[in-house]
Amino acid sequence: MSFSWPRARAVFWKDFLDLRKNPGLLASMGALPLMLVFVPAGVVWAYTRQPDDPNLQVIARYYDATVRGEAAMRFLVDKVLVDWFAVFLIMPVFVPILVSSFAIAGEKERRTLEPLLASPVTGLELLVGKSLASLVPALTICVIAFGLLCLTVNLAAGAAVLPTTMWTFGVFVIAPLFAFFGNGVAVVISGRVGDSRLAQQLAGMTVLPLVGLAAGQFGGFLKAGFGYYLVITAFVLVLDVALLIAATKLFDRERLMTKWG
């Protein structure tokens, strides 16, 4: 049977509708972006409140010994925004994990998988429909959070410090690739375990490298920048291709019925 967009769309429609009616999951999806928006805004506000505070120079010199005088405040604001992008990337990875972990393991748990597979829907249509149902909300939240971040950070700084080219490129190019990665990991793992909560926990661990990178940046061990994020993106792109191949193989009807869980 050839690929049918109406069937893939039907899967997307159903999963999206189910998500809209799940207040617990919606609250989980909304909590992380709020933290990712308001924490940097608070830090920027703290830095810009007293730009001539000598402590700012001390902090700035920890990262760059050449920073002098009032440039310290601007240096720190720029640094926190560059470094925070690694933390911000947790969102496009984590939100699809929340949704996609229920993708197949959830269907199996609720005993809805068998009637679903008995319908004419193909494995690829399921994969596409379910991935869209997780990627569309994740990227929508990401863009809305980015808009809010620009607004709150600029208000806190009292100047237009966002969006920068790196952030704009990051949100519209890098974030979708990371979202695809999070979705792929969740789909593959939720296929190998029969419990959606376990799938969520296991897939959730994939954000740990991002947390590690961010910690390295804040600790001054890694120097982040546009090029740095491009290298990470290239790596994630390779992982995305591998996950796509793995997920396509896993979405074989017979495998879903007999091997998963």
Please check whether residue 199 is in contact with residue 186, taking contact to mean a CB–CB distance below 8 angstroms: yes
Q: Which stretch binds another protein (CB under 8 A): 17-25, 33-41, 91-99, 149-157?
A: 17-25
Question: Tokens 């505070």 — which residue?
Answer: 53
Nearer to another protein, 4 or 201 (CB): 4
Binding residues for another protein restricted to 120-179, rule: CB under 8 A: 120-122
Burial tier of 165 (Cβ tally within 10 Å: 0-12, 13-18, 19+): exposed
**Tokens, residue 47:** 């830095």
* Cα-based distances in Å from 208 to 9, 19, 86, 108: 33, 26, 11, 28
Nearer to another protein, 1 or 231 (CB): 1
Please check whether residue 8 is in contact with residue 130, taking contact to mean a CB–CB distance below 8 angstroms: no
Minimal distance, residue 259 CB to another protein, in Å: 10
Query: Residue 195: helix, strand or coil by DSSP?
Result: coil
Minimal distance, residue 21 CB to another protein, in Å: 4
Minimal distance, residue 9 CB to another protein, in Å: 8
Stated length of the chain: 261
If we measure between CA atoms, which residue out of 233, 213, 235, 239 comes closest to residue 224? 213
Q: Which stretch binds another protein (CB under 8 A): 6-14, 70-78, 134-142, 171-179?
A: 6-14
Minimal distance, residue 23 CB to another protein, in Å: 10
* Cα-based distances in Å from 140 to 73, 95, 98: 32, 11, 15
Please check whether residue 185 is in contact with residue 242, taking contact to mean a CB–CB distance below 8 angstroms: no
Nearer to another protein, 54 or 115 (CB): 115
Binding residues for another protein restricted to 22-41, rule: CB under 8 A: 22
Minimal distance, residue 91 CB to another protein, in Å: 25
Minimal distance, residue 146 CB to another protein, in Å: 30
Nearer to another protein, 40 or 129 (CB): 129
Binding residues for another protein restricted to 55-114, rule: CB under 8 A: 110-114
Tell me the torsion sign for CA atoms 59, 64, 65, 66.
negative
Nearer to another protein, 241 or 257 (CB): 257
Q: Which stretch binds another protein (CB under 8 A): 76-84, 118-126, 141-149, 233-241?
A: 118-126
How many residues interact with another protein (rule CB under 8 A)? 30
How is residue 207 annotated by DSSP? Answer: G
Instruction: Kindly list the residues in this chain that would bind another protein in the complex (CB under 8 A).
Output: 1, 4, 6-7, 9-11, 13-14, 17-18, 21-22, 110-122, 253-254, 257-258
